[in-house]
Amino acid sequence: MDERGATLWPAGGDLDSWFVPVPVRRGLWLICEPGHVQSYLVEGRDRAILIDTGTGIAPIAPLVRRLTTKPIEVVLTHNHFDHIGGNADFDRIAIHPAGVAGLRAGRPAESLRGYIAGARGMLARGARLRALDAEGFNMLHPEQIVRPFPPDFDPERYAIAPSEAIAMLEDGQVLDLGARALEVIYTPGHSPDGICLLDRAGRILFTADTVYAGPLYAQTPGADLDAYLASLRRLEPLIDSVDLLLPAHNRVPLDPPIICEMIAGFEALLAGRAPIEVSEADSLGRRTRAAHFGRFSVLLPA
């Protein structure tokens, strides 16, 4: 990162703030829900784009409107619940056509109870991690510290209301923000509506849930291993033309060559050369199997 965001981080490491905003470059912020998901605010001369609206556990809109005075449009990388939770606070939303039905369906509370249980367990483990870090490691940044649910959040009633997109995103489409542009790259595999976004001039690739370090979710409905590999191969030619990969989960930023590692891993998996093990539950409490490849793994249905 170019900057650490000290001016936006509450003094004393206050954990009351659900979001941690981190300036990456001029006109670009990482908006982190630590341990959950990462959204990005990209500002141009004329307007700003919010890439994903987070889990909805806390409203993202007030923070975004403090960071920019430009008109804000939401661009969704796909319709999974942890990327659409704040949609209700925005009027202008765009998504790939394959994600429209998912937005309209919303997410009822019963479908998210496994996620709430997992988040509580992660918070307990995070407290142990903080204690170890305080003993001498001193390596954790604020955006890596899992925090408790906001006081006004009711976990038992956590649900995501249906929302509607007013614009459709197509492969190759250029989103002009004024003196800045984002190109849409259709990357199904993790989900049928998945996209990445390329800031070609800034040499930045927003990889959403297509590329990140950690367990890649290929066990969810609509996931497709062959499509996932094809999408990774589409991204491979960009490796030499980008400096930053900004994913929606875990470590930020990533080095572009991780795409080659993932291609090799998916090729081995599809060729039957990758050992598959029984894994722990995923973030929604579902049992999975997993193939492990060093910096990442691929989760598969149990």
Residue 258 parent element (H or E): helix 258-270
Q: The CATH number of 6-107+157-272 is which of 2.60.120.560, 3.30.420.40, 3.60.15.10, 3.20.20.70?
A: 3.60.15.10
Average pLDDT of the residues of the chain:
94
Strands 296-301 and 214-217 turn out to be: parallel
| Triad 198, 200, 206: Cα angle to 5° | 25
Average pLDDT over residues 215-241: 97
User: Which tens digit of pLDDT belongs to each residue from 24-48?
Assistant: 999 999 999 999 999 999 999 999 9
Residue 291 pLDDT exceeds 80:
yes
pLDDT at 9: 36
Q: In sequence order, what E strands does 86-145 have?
A: 93-95
pLDDT in tens, 90-149: 999 999 999 999 999 999 999 999 999 999 999 999 999 999 999 989 999 999 999 999
Q: Is the dihedral of CA 198, 199, 204, 207 positive or negative?
A: negative
What digits encode the pLDDT tens for the residues 54-92? 999 999 999 999 999 999 999 999 999 999 999 999 999
Enter the DSSP assignment of 147.
Answer: -
Cβ contact 30:143 at 8 Å: yes
- Other beta carbons less than 10 A from residue 268's beta carbon: 15
More confident: 208 or 12: 208
How far apart are the C-alpha atoms of 100 and 168, rounded to whole Å? 9
Whole-number Å distance between alpha carbons of 230 and 147:
37
What is the sign, positive or negative, of the torsion defined by CA atoms of 116, 121, 124, 125? negative
pLDDT tens digits, 208-220: 999 999 999 999 9
Scored b (16 or more CB within 10 A) or e, 280-290 reads eebbbeeebeb
Between CA 215 and CA 220, with CA 216 as vertex, the angle to 5 degrees is 115
Q: What does the alpha-carbon distance between residue 79 and residue 84 come to, in Å, rounded to a whole number? A: 6
Q: Report cis status (omega within 30 of 0) of the bond before 23.
A: no
Tell me which of 13 and 64 has the higher pLDDT.
Answer: 64
pLDDT over 90 for what percent of the chain? Answer: 90
pLDDT digits (tens, 9 = 90+) for 46-56: 999 999 999 99
Helix (H) or strand (E) holding 119, with range, is: helix 109-132
Which amino acid is it at 173?
Q
